[in-house]
Amino acid sequence: MLEYFIFLRPARPVSFFHRQPLAGMACGLFLALSMLCFPFCAEAANSEQAPPKEASQSTAKAAAPDGSTSPELSEQVPDTEASASEPVFGMADVEAKARALAESEFENPDGKVPAFLLDISYDQWRKIRFKPDSSLWRNEDSLFEAQFFHPGLFYNRLVSINVVQNGKAEKLTFSPDMFEYGDKALADKVRQTPLDFSGFRLHFPIKNPDYKDEVVVFLGATYFRAVTRDSQYGLSGRGLAIDTALASGEEFPYFREFWLVKPESGAQTMTVYALMDTPSMTGAYRFDITPGAFTVMDTSCTLFARKGAKPVQKIGLAALTSMFLFGETENGRSGDYRPEVHDSDGLLFLDTDGNWFWSPLANPPRLAINEFRLDNPRGFGLMQRDGFFDHYQDLEARYEMRPSLWVEPKGDWGPGRLELIEIPSEEEIHDNMVAFWVPDKSVSQAKVEGQAEAPRLYPETMSYAYRLIWMPPGSNPHGLGWAVATRTARQEDRLRFIIDFEGGLLDFLPGDTGLSSVVKIPESVQLIEKQLSKNPVTGGWRLVFMVRLPKEEGVLQSIRAARDGAPSLRFKAVLKKGENLPDPLTETWFYDLQL
């Protein structure tokens, strides 16, 4: 079990602390000291033997933006697994289907959606709308409703939807009468064609008890998205990533079948089961979904290697996908009036020893694969820390309202690494940031003559459980100081980093405290200067250091980049009370500079 606090950055630069310094300082100092007094703890269990009901639970306390103590996060993030209904139909049934599916060859689902639906224009697609009156459980005593997506245009795979009620699963039949088409000729064609759905969305009274807002959507491959009470759609979660960013090409699994469990009257948690399929693997998933100020998905999955299929080279668990075009590091973009454009601005992660790390995102000139050794991870996520409208100036996209997504593993996941893949992009319509955890391969294969060592494989069956927490923008799941902005300035071979830290004890330490900054640079880089000073405007601290980069012939660099991938240099920084003191005042800042 991991205990942590959720801290929210103030909604405006002029915070409660500035308006009422004494009360704000007392409250904030109490929270920061409390954080230091309650060390992180992790309770390990075998992940392959830990179904959702037995998985460890998170507890947390929250600090409101005004500095007051808000209800414990366990109230905002309910114990969904304890309250979720336990129907006769359950995870074991989905696992049985996935196991049987893995014994047969993969059947390509492409081609089942007719060409006349795939070839429609975007305007025609937008006219196809689900009729709200056809919503599942619309006139029943349930806080949840489900609406469904029509296949066509981008969505070329059919998905079966089942409804579980009183312990029994029954297929929901697709009907054109559920949709408005805005085109009689198209509607007539659909009526003559056997079809199914392409996905679904859930509605729940997350803001107003008299209105059910859209809160969760499952649509396309294994993608899903969710909102919190005070955010809108942004980044996506994925059931599984396979061979992402490998030369052999990525494999995209998809959820081929869902089971929606009807919640009991008044229940605030709903269970969804999903059957995953792909050429190399199958999988069974369970999602216990609780919308709210922090929307929670308690997730468990069992994965099966497909018989006779080519072994998977890399699997990415709890995969996250987001968009980052540019931020304060780039100081805007020529020709664009907006200072920043992104759904997420950094990767945050927590190791098994309770150390926190932050890596700001970048839109690189070439594909970048950043790896972080992370055995038995205790948490990771793509975060949207910057929640100020004036940092984006976009009245349509409202990037300051995009949520963060935090992954909290349950049990002991074993050895592995965290990967952050940054894909070059020129448009904000593309999700170009991917993060996931990669387990080490643990099964030895027969050694082939001439090989230095026998290749290793993934087990034929793997089980994992984790909690997904969708957080409002500006949320921070620890009480240390955090890096709120990273800026750079480059002149020839000299590069200056400007890092602003805020939060935790930092805001209450005077400028003459004598803090220390620990900066680590690659051997090939020379540190020219370094200084740390109190920021009188924000109350935080600013670290500035300049380095001289290694000179390298441009042609040789291009050859190496093409052969080995883009070369990069890794920088680290952390603030402490003293360089020789063990406990940090801030998270550790990472920065991978692509050459």
Q: Is the pLDDT of residue 338 over 60?
A: yes
Arithmetic mean of pLDDT, 407-426? 97
pLDDT attached to residue 556: 55
Q: Is the pLDDT of residue 43 over 60?
A: no
Q: Are strands 404-410 and 461-471 parallel, antiparallel or unpaired?
A: antiparallel
Instruction: List, in order, residues 6 or more apart from 122 with CB less than 8 Å away.
Output: 153
pLDDT attached to residue 24: 37
Q: Is the pLDDT of residue 276 over 60?
A: yes
Mean pLDDT of the chain: 85
What angle (nearest 5°) sits at the alpha carbon of residue 464, between those of residues 459 and 466? 160
Q: What is the pLDDT of residues 478-519, one digit of tens each?
A: 999 999 999 999 999 999 999 999 999 999 999 998 899 999
pLDDT band at 563 (very low <50, low <70, confident <90, very high): low
Instruction: List, in order, residues 6 or more apart from 302 with CB less than 8 Å away.
Output: 91, 95, 98, 283, 284, 461, 462, 463
Best CA proximity match to 32, nearest among 403, 539, 579: 539
Arithmetic mean of pLDDT, 447-454? 66
pLDDT band at 55 (very low <50, low <70, confident <90, very high): very low
Lowest mean pLDDT among 83-97, 236-250, 455-469: 83-97
pLDDT attached to residue 88: 86
Arithmetic mean of pLDDT, 269-276? 98
pLDDT band at 201 (very low <50, low <70, confident <90, very high): very high
pLDDT attached to residue 72: 35
Output 549-557 pairs: Cβ under 8 A, ≥24 positions apart. 549/493, 549/494, 549/495, 549/525, 549/593, 549/595, 550/493, 550/524, 550/525, 551/493, 552/595, 557/595
Question: Whole-angstrom Cα distance, residue 424 to residue 87?
Answer: 46
pLDDT attached to residue 332: 79
**Partner residues linked to 369 by β-bridges:** 421
Hey, what domains does the chain have and what are their CATH numbers? 3-76 (no CATH), 482-594 (2.60.40.10)
| Higher pLDDT among residues 181 and 595, named by residue | 181
pLDDT attached to residue 70: 33
pLDDT attached to residue 41: 35
User: What is the distance of C-alpha 338 from the center of its chain?
Assistant: 24
pLDDT attached to residue 21: 33
pLDDT band at 329 (very low <50, low <70, confident <90, very high): confident
Q: Is the pLDDT of residue 240 over 90?
A: yes
pLDDT band at 64 (very low <50, low <70, confident <90, very high): very low
What angle (nearest 5°) sits at the alpha carbon of residue 430, between those of residues 428 and 431? 110
pLDDT attached to residue 454: 73
Q: Residues 387, 368: contact at Cβ < 8 Å?
A: no
Arithmetic mean of pLDDT, 307-329? 96
Q: What is the DSSP string of 195-245?
A: --BSEEEEEEEEEETTEEEEEEEEESTTEEEE--TT-----EEES-EESTT
Lowest mean pLDDT among 212-221, 319-328, 383-392, 436-445: 436-445
pLDDT band at 333 (very low <50, low <70, confident <90, very high): confident
**Partner residues linked to 163 by β-bridges:** 170, 260
| Higher pLDDT among residues 266 and 49, named by residue | 266
Arithmetic mean of pLDDT, 579-587? 85
Lowest mean pLDDT among 331-340, 410-419, 530-539: 331-340
Alpha helices (H) in 441-595, listed in sequence order: 554-564
Q: Is the pLDDT of residue 18 over 70?
A: no
Lowest mean pLDDT among 111-120, 252-261, 289-298, 330-339: 330-339
| Higher pLDDT among residues 556 and 511, named by residue | 511
pLDDT attached to residue 86: 54
pTM of the model: 0.84
| Higher pLDDT among residues 4 and 120, named by residue | 120
pLDDT band at 555 (very low <50, low <70, confident <90, very high): very low
pLDDT attached to residue 10: 46
Best CA proximity match to 234, nearest among 226, 223, 244: 226
Q: What is the pLDDT of residues 90-128, one digit of tens each?
A: 999 999 999 999 999 999 999 899 999 999 999 999 999
pLDDT attached to residue 337: 93
| Higher pLDDT among residues 404 and 31, named by residue | 404
